């Protein structure tokens, strides 16, 4: 290493590395790659672990986090679904260490989550848990996709030929897959909608659940091998298929995109906001159910299925109706307008003199001050002469 590190920033699930910072005598920070709401729930989790008996999923009331909007039982993050699972113990251990950090960087903005950020900074219960300053430095999103494949080029060329805000982009993230039955309903729902779409499609899950994480079948098979018979012929001209992964940033930025059916991963959530694209929420795992609730109820830029896709089959009629709605001129227009408002807010935050610049500047100043204090504590005091 050319020079000695002056600070350590770790991911939210790498807090074991705090010990390294302590050995080096440098300040340590944790970077929360998700929302302020997840951060608040995580900080309060050790308290919940002490106060609540039994499983969280069996609770009859939402989980209350001081100063924050209650968390519905259906929105509980995956590691909290089974307290006997080692994943819960792992999550609890890391969450318990966030309070040891000199500061917490957060991939969110002041405008997106003002009430939760206020609670994190001012609520007496949460401040007793952690007095670490919160630095909202988001939305951190990719500015440009790197792609050279022919499929990606063909996708963008196809979008160039479509009318403005007429295409639904469909992607369930890097790991989201559907059961064979749900995949069939999904395809037929897109067909029923009579709308244009770009679909990042994967083979059905290897296990029979409505939705899964990283369990797709043979990705070398083309869509015609596992989508309904005759489907690709019937939708020819208004649908474009991308095998497993697409240039998401470039697609969402394209003028022809009018909606985004997504799994509500935090990166995709922020990318939809940064590009002003309304969402059909299809949460699958991790904290995505919590994100979907924020998209629909807090920010008003999304719609969602009546039931969770992970709990029951979503029929083609409901899927078709949601697609028509988000791309339509009624509620769809209102959703697009709200998405653009949030986009403007995000761009303002990321601009010169915006909240992101101010937050990062404050982080650097605080980091320098923390380092100076640490060095002063290490410097031996000179003995006074007798």
Q: Which of 278, 36, 271 lies closest to 168, judged by CA?
A: 278
**Residue 219 confidence (pLDDT):** 56
Whole-angstrom distance, CA of residue 70 vs CA of residue 47: 15
Using omega within 30 degrees of 0 as the cis cutoff, is the peptide bond preceding 139 cis? Answer: yes
Could you read off the pLDDT of 216-274 as tens digits, one per residue?
Answer: 545 556 788 899 999 999 999 999 999 877 889 999 999 999 999 999 999 999 999 99
Name residue 241's beta-bridge partners.
199
Whole-angstrom distance, CA of residue 234 vs CA of residue 308: 29
Q: Answer yes or no: pTM beyond 0.85.
A: yes
Instruction: Show the tokens assigned to 168.
Output: 């639904």
Q: Which CATH number fits domain 8-138+353-378: 3.20.130.10, 3.90.870.10, 3.30.420.40, 3.40.50.2000?
A: 3.40.50.2000
In this structure, are residues 170 and 259 in contact, taking their beta carbons and an 8 Å threshold? no
Domain ranges of the chain: 8-138+353-378, 150-346
Could you read off the pLDDT of 159-206 as tens digits, one per residue?
Answer: 999 999 999 999 999 888 899 999 999 999 999 999 999 999 999 987
SS3 call for 143: coil
Q: Are 8-138+353-378 and 150-346 equal in CATH topology?
A: yes
In this structure, are residues 279 and 272 in contact, taking their beta carbons and an 8 Å threshold? yes
- How many other β-carbons are positioned within 10 Å of the β-carbon of residue 44? 24
Could you read off the pLDDT of 75-120 as tens digits, one per residue?
Answer: 999 999 999 999 999 999 999 999 999 999 999 999 999 999 999 9
pLDDT at 146 over 90: no
φ, ψ dihedrals at 204, nearest 5°: -65, 160
Mean pLDDT score of the chain = 92
User: Above pLDDT 70, what percent of the chain?
Assistant: 91
> How is residue 259 annotated by DSSP?
E
Q: Which residues contact 353 (CB under 8 A, 6 or more apart)?
A: none
The domain defined by 150-346 folds into Rossmann fold (3.40.50)
Q: Which residues contact 357 (CB under 8 A, 6 or more apart)?
A: 351
Could you read off the pLDDT of 320-344 as tens digits, one per residue?
Answer: 999 999 999 999 999 999 999 999 9
Render 265-329 in DSSP notation, one character per residue. Answer: -HHHHHHHHHTT--EEE---STTHHHHHHIIIIIS--EEE-SS-TTTSPPPHHHHHHHHHHHHSS
**Residue 151 confidence (pLDDT):** 81
Whole-angstrom distance, CA of residue 229 vs CA of residue 244: 20
- Residue 214, burial from CB neighbour count under 10 angstroms (0-12, 13-18, 19+): exposed
Whole-angstrom distance, CA of residue 290 vs CA of residue 38: 8
**Residue 160 confidence (pLDDT):** 98
Q: Residue 193, Cα to own-chain centre: how many angstroms? A: 27
């Amino acid at each position: 290493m050319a020079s000695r590190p002056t600070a350590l920033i770790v991911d939210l699930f790498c807090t074991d590395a705090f010990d390294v910072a302590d050995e080096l005598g440098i300040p340590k920070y944790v970077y929360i790659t998700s929302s302020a709401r997840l951060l608040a729930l995580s900080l309060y989790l050790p308290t919940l672990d002490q106060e609540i008996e039994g499983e969280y999923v069996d609770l009859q009331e939402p989980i209350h986090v001081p100063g924050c909007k209650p968390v519905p039982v259906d929105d509980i993050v995956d590691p909290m679904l089974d307290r006997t699972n080692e994943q819960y113990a792992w999550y609890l251990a890391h969450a318990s260490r966030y309070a040891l950090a000199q500061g917490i960087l957060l991939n969110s903005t002041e405008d997106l989550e003002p009430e939760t950020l206020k609670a994190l900074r001012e609520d007496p219960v949460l401040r007793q848990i952690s007095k670490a300053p919160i630095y909202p430095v988001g939305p951190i999103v990719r500015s440009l996709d790197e792609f050279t494949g022919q499929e990606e080029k063909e996708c963008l060329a196809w979008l160039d030929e479509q009318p403005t805000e007429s295409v639904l982009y469909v992607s369930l993230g890097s790991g989201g897959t559907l059961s064979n039955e749900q995949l069939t309903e999904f395809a037929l729902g897109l067909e029923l909608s009579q709308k244009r779409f770009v679909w990042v499609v994967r083979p059905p899950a290897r296990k029979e659940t409505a939705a899964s994480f990283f369990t797709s079948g043979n990705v070398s098979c083309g869509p015609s091998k596992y989508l309904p018979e005759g489907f690709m012929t019937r939708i020819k001209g208004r649908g474009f298929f991308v095998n497993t992964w697409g240039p998401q940033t470039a697609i969402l930025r394209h003028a022809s995109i009018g909606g985004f059916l997504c799994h509500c991963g935090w990166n995709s959530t922020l990318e939809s906001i940064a590009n002003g694209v309304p969402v059909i929420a299809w949460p699958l795992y991790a904290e995505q159910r919590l994100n979907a609730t924020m998209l629909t109820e807090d920010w008003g830029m999304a719609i969602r299925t009546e039931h969770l896709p992970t709990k029951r089959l979503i029929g083609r009629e409901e899927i078709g109706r949601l697609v028509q709605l988000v791309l339509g001129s009624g509620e769809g227009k209102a959703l697009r307008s709200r998405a653009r408002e949030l986009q403007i807010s995000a761009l303002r935050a990321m601009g010169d003199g915006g909240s992101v610049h101010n937050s990062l500047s404050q982080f650097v100043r605080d980091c320098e001050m923390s380092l100076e204090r640490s060095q002063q504590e290490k410097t031996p005091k000179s003995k006074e002469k007798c």
